[in-house]
């Protein structure tokens, strides 16, 4: 049985649908990347699955249960959402932040934090490598560290599915890769089902099993990277001509920009052998 089944999902703000007619499904342990132009509805889709958008129509079934009929707390036990890193007004510590992921599992409040909560918080911080930062305030961390703290909080939530909204935005290339390595570890070792909204195609291609291309709120193409990363699809989705090359380490296709004729760009001029190589 599929873990997550999405049928005819429509969602948006102020009764204006941003995404329409979205249907797809995910098996346990699958890694899906949702890509598409700015404003195509990637973030809205990620939020809608958790019913975070003001209105949603259609069905999202998780383990056979209709998510939109569940209570807020029940949804939070099934799907964890990792927002984009943003500045917080109130500066909680790393440990306090991760501990908030346990809210959904804390039954009677006066009982306080149980051993189970403690060990889940520790485990989440260990997996994401933020345990050493536990007493630091979020404002003292780098963007990459903060993103990992938010992922730790989602792990503490102990859900089968992780939803991430552009986890690589605002990160340098080293941190971007680190985050995807972390996500892949979680997917393989913890059997987490992962759905990311991602704008950096070359970054997610080697790590996701399938890609979902959105355009103007509708699915334009979907499939494994080897099938959907081609010039025709990129042209349809982004209205952009690109060239594809093979990534030497993954063997998978990768996007390469075409810099249009007549534009001044930095180029290695073909010339004497001595030039750029040193």
Partner 1 sequence: MSPRHRNWFFPVSLILLTLAGFLLSVKLGAVRMTWQEIRAGLFSGGQFKDILIHLRLPRAILAYLVGAALALSGAILQGYFRNPLADPFILGVSSGASLGAVLSLEIGLTWTVFGFSSQSWLALLTSLLLVGSVYLISENQSPGRSESLLLTGIAAGAMASALTSFFLFRRADAYEQAVFWLLGSFSLSGWKEVWLLLPYFLLTLIISQYFAPEMNLLALGDEVAQSLGCPVKTIRRLFLFLATLLASFSVAVAGIIGFVGLIVPHSVRLLIGPDHRRLFLFSALTGGMMLVFCDLLARTVFSPSEIPIGVITAALGAPFFIYLLNRHQRGRS
Contacts to partner 1 by CB under 8 A: 47, 50-52, 54, 71-73, 75-77, 79-81, 83, 88-93, 95-96, 100-101, 103-104, 106, 109, 134-135, 153, 157
- Minimum gap (Å) between residue 215 Cβ and partner 1: 24
Q: Which is closer to partner 1, CB of 100 or CB of 252? A: 100
CB of 53 to partner 1, least distance (A): 9
Nearer to partner 1, 78 or 228 (CB): 78
CB of 114 to partner 1, least distance (A): 14
Q: Which is nearer to partner 1, 17 or 225 (CB)?
A: 17
Considering beta carbons, is residue 19 or 104 the nearer one to partner 1? Answer: 104
Query: Nearest approach, Cβ of 276 to partner 1 (angstroms)?
Result: 43
| Complex with partner 1: residue 48 or 203, whichever CB lies closer | 48
- Nearest distance from residue 101's CB to partner 1, in Å? 7
* String of DSSP letters for the chain: --SEEEEEEEEEETTEEEEEEEEEEE-TT-EEEEE-STTSSHHHHHHHHTT-SSEEEEEEEETTEEGGGS-HHHHHTTEEEEPPP---SS--BHHHHHHGGGGGG--SGGG---HHHHHHHHHHHHHHT-GGGTTSBGGGS-HHHHHHHHHHHHHHTT-SEEEEE-TTTT--HHHHHHHHHHHHHHHHHS--EEEEE-S-HHHHTTT-SEEEEEETTEEEEEE-HHHH-SHHHHHHHHS--EEEEE-TTT--EEEEE---TT-------S--TTTTT-
């Amino acid at each position: 049985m599929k873990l997550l089944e999405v049928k005819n999902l429509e969602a948006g703000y102020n009764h204006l649908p941003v995404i329409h007619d979205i249907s797809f499904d995910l098996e346990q342990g699958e890694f899906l990347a949702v890509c598409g132009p700015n404003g195509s509805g990637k973030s809205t889709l990620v939020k809608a699955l958790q019913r975070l958008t003001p209105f949603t129509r259609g069905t999202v079934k998780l383990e056979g249960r209709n998510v939109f009929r569940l209570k807020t707390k029940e949804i939070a036990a099934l799907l964890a959402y990792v927002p984009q890193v943003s500045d917080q007004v109130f500066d909680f510590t790393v440990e306090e932040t991760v501990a908030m992921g346990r809210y959904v599992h804390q039954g009677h409040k006066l009982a306080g934090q149980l051993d189970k909560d403690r060990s889940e918080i520790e485990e989440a911080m260990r997996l994401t490598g933020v345990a050493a930062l536990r007493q630091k305030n979020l404002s003292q961390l780098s963007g990459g560290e903060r993103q990992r703290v938010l992922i730790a909080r989602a792990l503490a939530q102990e859900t089968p599915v992780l939803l991430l909204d552009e986890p690589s935005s605002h990160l340098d290339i080293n941190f971007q890769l680190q985050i995807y390595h972390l996500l892949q570890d979680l997917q393989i070792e913890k059997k987490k089902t992962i759905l990311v909204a991602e704008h950096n195609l070359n970054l997610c291609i080697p790590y996701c099993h399938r890609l979902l291309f959105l355009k103007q709120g509708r699915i334009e193409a979907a499939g494994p990277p080897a099938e959907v990363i081609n010039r025709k699809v990129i042209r349809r989705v982004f209205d952009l001509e690109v060239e594809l090359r093979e990534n030497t380490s993954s063997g998978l296709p990768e996007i390469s920009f075409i810099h249009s004729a007549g534009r001044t760009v930095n180029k290695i001029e073909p010339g004497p052998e001595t030039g750029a190589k040193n």
